[in-house]
């Protein structure tokens, strides 16, 4: 029987401990705090999403001028691919008249470029656009003093930046009751 071979490697070539070459204490502490900060940020994003802070947020603006009142509910914050509410309520003191008249809204034309359109409700009876403004003409209600139009749309999946615009009633060739608004898009 042969005796097992002895380790003939010089003793100085073997490390004295397996802990040699590891992180220093300060590197270890910095890594620990870095991981804690990263996990905290992820948790905050998840909590914000669950609470609805990263979804669609609507706002309402309104204005009154010369017997006209415009109120607009619009998405102040949205994300690509989500449905949004865009609803204008127009009031005219004393109603719109007994004969079928019209209501013309002036809307910043480029604003609608962030949406995939499903349509206006009711449909406009006429529309035209100049360099900056989209003019939508609707048949006015024959009774009452309130007209409501909504835009059925969702934010285009490719939209990355929000837009700002104005909405007003066009009467006698001028815009009255102008409401400014801005939609911000989150990633």
pLDDT 10s digits, 157-185: 888 888 999 999 998 889 999 999 999 99
Torsion of CA 103, 143, 92, 71, to 10 degrees: -80
Alpha carbon distance 67, 81 (integer Å): 38
Q: Which SS3 state, helix, strand or coil, does residue 48 take?
A: helix
Pick the CATH number of 57-186 from 2.130.10.10, 2.60.40.10, 1.20.1050.10, 3.40.50.150: 2.60.40.10
C-alpha to C-alpha distance for 61 and 91, rounded to whole angstroms: 14
CB 88 within 8 A of CB 148: yes
Position 19 confidence tier, pLDDT thresholds 50, 70, 90: low
Domain boundaries defined on the chain: 23-54, 57-186
């Amino acid at each position: 029987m042969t005796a097992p071979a002895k380790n003939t490697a010089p003793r100085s070539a073997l490390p004295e401990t397996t802990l040699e070459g590891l992180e220093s204490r300060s590197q270890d502490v910095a890594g620990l705090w870095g991981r804690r900060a990263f996990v905290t940020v992820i948790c905050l994003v998840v909590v914000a999403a669950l609470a609805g802070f990263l979804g669609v947020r609507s706002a309402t603006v309104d204005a009154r001028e010369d017997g006209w009142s415009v109120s607009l509910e619009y998405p102040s914050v949205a994300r690509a691919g989500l449905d949004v509410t865009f609803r204008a309520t127009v009031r005219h003191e004393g109603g719109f008249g007994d004969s079928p008249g019209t209501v013309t809204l002036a809307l910043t034309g480029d604003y609608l470029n962030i949406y995939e359109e499903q349509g206006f409700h009711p449909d406009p009876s006429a529309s035209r656009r100049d360099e900056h403004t989209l003019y939508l003409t609707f048949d006015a209600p024959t009774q009452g003093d309130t007209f409501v139009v909504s835009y059925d749309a969702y934010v285009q999946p490719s939209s990355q930046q929000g837009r700002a615009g104005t909405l007003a009633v066009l009467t006698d060739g001028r815009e009255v009751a102008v409401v400014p608004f801005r939609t911000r898009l989150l990633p």
